[in-house]
Amino acid sequence: MGSFRLVLDEFEVVEVAAAAAPEGAADLSESPRFDVIDRLLEGDDRYILRDEAFQQAVDFCIAWLDEKAKSREH
């Protein structure tokens, strides 16, 4: 499995190996899983989402950034 990382403003979407998924994590199917990391935080606090499917991870980041942009307009 190759390594994958996508940077979206303050977030990183990072592919994780199934073995690295936290115990009790959701579905450990064959599809790649991803963590969403807030690059502005440190330690374990930086992990916003863990062991997510790619589309859900990216959707979360886009929705968060859209809300952030809307709040700046006011």
Its pTM stands at: 0.74
Q: Which helix (H) or strand (E) holds 73?
A: helix 54-73
Inform me whether the pLDDT recorded for 22 exceeds 80. Answer: no
Token pair in block for residue 26: 């959701």
Per-domain residue ranges of the chain: 5-73
Q: Which residue has the higher pLDDT, 28 or 34?
A: 34
- In sequence order, the 6+-apart residues with CB closer than 8 A to the CB of 28 are 18, 21, 51
